[in-house]
Structure 1
Amino acid sequence: MNGIADGTANGTASDAVTGRIHSWDLSTGVDGPGTRFVLFVSGCPLRCLYCANPDTWHMRDGRAVTVDEVMAEIDKYRAFLTTAGGGITVTGGEPLLQPAFTGALLHRCKEAGLHTALDTSGFLGARATDGLLADTDLVLLDIKAFDVTTYRKLTGGELAPTLNLATRLDRLGKRMWIRYVLVPGWTDDPEAVDGLAGFLGGLGSVDRVDVLPFHKLGAAKYDALGLPFPLRETPVPDADLVGRVRGRFRDHGLAAH
């Protein structure tokens, strides 16, 4: 990952909106179509037990930048991103914790002709204005669990706002990729998976479901921060379990990866 260089904004008032970011990176395939400029904003209201980026939890730990400064970095890669069929993805942390900054950045990217994606848990979906969503081509919606009790234990938050956002996005015809982290003993219950698959199967704007196997790659970050990693002893899912869960989504007519 790279930091965005300090600079002075010379744009409009909207372009000078300040946000707090952790870093940025380039990725292919997992953060939206094509090669993406992925911006990690700081701050998140949830505390998912499997979170791989505890260093993005607090806004105070991020660095203040303006939209102009971010665009100056994106512009270095714009031709490449366009040629590679990609664009920009705003992730975190939780981008909707900073809706003014996220919205202004997405607007500038759309003006620049870039494909835009928003990666969100949906927990703060009510903060996404119609204007922000109009400037978003694709929403990567992270649905952490479908059982409300499990969701609360796993994230510290409530499930309803995420489902409400999914329904709203479908009503707007906004394309969605659903992300579902598969954690043995937490999100592998067949009835809960079937319930989520049934809900998603009724939404016409869901393009795919990405079943993401739980991993422990972020454990070293917890150690560095002096924090306990809650799922350190939880096993990662084996290939058979991942295949079965993907199959349940496919049984409901969904493209599952």
Structure 2
Amino acid sequence: MIKGRIHSFESMGLVDGPGIRNVVFFQGCPLRCLFCHNPDTWNFDEGIEISSEELINKIIKFKPYFKNNGGVTFSGGEPLMQPKFLLEMLKLCKKHNIHTTIDTSGCGSGNYEEILKYTNLILLDIKHSTNDEFKTLTGVSMKNLIKFIEVINSSHTKVWIRHVIIPGITDSNKHLEKLKEIIKKIKNVEKIEFLPYHTLGIDKYKTLNYDFKLKNLEPMDKNKCKALEQTFITTLLS
């Protein structure tokens, strides 16, 4: 039995992978994304300690709701930063025939090959398309993401790409062209989603006494974001 730290548990998630899903938010993240709306997941020492046995028993209770295409999504924080606990949970899900998804930035602490053996789907959140801008936006370099993509390409795991569109930061043609170059090198990509930047987490920053550095930036228009996504996909496939 392995113990891990989670931030929260959502029983009926509808946007973090296919079907109806349990979403397990892992505690702790090495990134400090300027647009993060869950800064309360950053600290590795906080959250709820839970055993793999406790968590799988909780998940099994919801199995009837998963139907044909639902399952469990391990999100965060960054689930890859608790690789032993994550791997144990993936194995237990496989044992109980539960579809598994990992929502990740690709910036973890290793054991990727073994983890992907038990993962049905990766929601890969690519923060930026160049190393300098990636570091400015997140506080870390792209090296772990690049390594993770290499491991994805040697596996059979399906991938959905996610990318947050931030006005003036990730919405330029130059940036999006570089993003295409990255995505073209990733195997088994089934879907690409552009997510509009929003400020829904700003109150959490106030509560935690953290500085929200993008507080003067207006949220991304949802219709413009969807139009960018459609154009991006069309030109990527052409």
The TM-score bracket by the shorter chain reads: over 0.9
Runs of 4+ residues deviating >3 angstroms: none
Q: 1:76 to 1:243 in 2, by over 3 A?
A: same
In the aligned structure 2, how far is the partner of 1:27 from the partner of 1:188? 31
Q: Which amino acid aligns with 1:93?
A: G
Partner of 2:107: 123
Partner of 1:40: 25
Show the counterpart of 1:185. Answer: 168
| One-letter code aligned to 1:180 | H
Aligned-partner SS, 2:154: helix
Q: Residue 80 of structure 1 aligns with which residue?
A: 65
Report what 1:236 is aligned to.
219
Q: Please list, as runs of the form range in 1=range in 2, the aligned pairs for 1:154-233 lying within 5 A after superposition.
A: 154-233=137-216
Shift of 1:63: 1.4
SS at match of 2:45: helix
Give the C-alpha shift of residue 240 in structure 1: 2.6
Counterpart residue identity of residue 50, structure 1: F
Percent sequence identity is 35
Q: Which amino acid aligns with 1:122?
A: G
Q: Given the alignment of the two structures, is residue 23 of structure 1 paired with residue 4 of structure 2, yes or no? A: no
Q: Which runs of 5+ in 2 are unaligned?
A: none
Name the Cα RMSD after superposition.
1.6
Q: Following TM superposition, by how much is the alpha carbon of 1:242 offset from its aligned partner in structure 2, in angstroms?
A: 4.2
State the TM-score, normalized to the length of structure 2: 0.94
Moved more, 86-95 or 184-193: 184-193
How far apart, in 1, do the equivalents of 2:68 and 2:156 lie?
Answer: 25
Equivalent AA in structure 2 for residue 79 of structure 1: P
**Structure 1, unpaired ranges of 5+:** 1-15
- Counterpart residue number, 1:146: 129
Q: In structure 1, give the amino acid aligned to 2:200.
A: L
For 2:116, give the aligned amino acid: L
Once residues 88 and 129 of structure 1 are traced to their aligned partners in structure 2, the CA distance between those partners, rounded to angstroms, is 18
Question: What is the Cα deviation at residue 241 of structure 1?
Answer: 4.8
Hey, what does 1:91 align to over in structure 2? 75
- In structure 1, distance between residues paired with 2:12 and 2:134: 28
Deviations 1:109-168 (Å, cap 9, x if unpaired)?
0110000001111112x6133221111000111100002111111000111321331232
Q: How far 1:59 moved relative to its partner? A: 1.7
Q: TM-score, normalised by structure 1?
A: 0.87
Shift of 1:199: 2.5
What is the DSSP-based 3-state SS (H/G/I as helix, E as strand, rest coil) of the residue aligned with 1:195? Answer: helix
Aligned 8 A contact 2:194 2:225 in 1: no
SS in 1 for 2:237: coil
Aligned 8 A contact 1:35 1:84 in 2 = no
Deviations 1:210-243 (A, max 9, x none): 1000001111111111112111111222223541
SS at match of 1:140: strand
Name the CA distance, whole Å, in 2 between partners of 1:167 and 1:131.
14
Q: Is residue 2:3 matched to residue 1:52?
A: no
| Paired amino acid for 2:83 | P
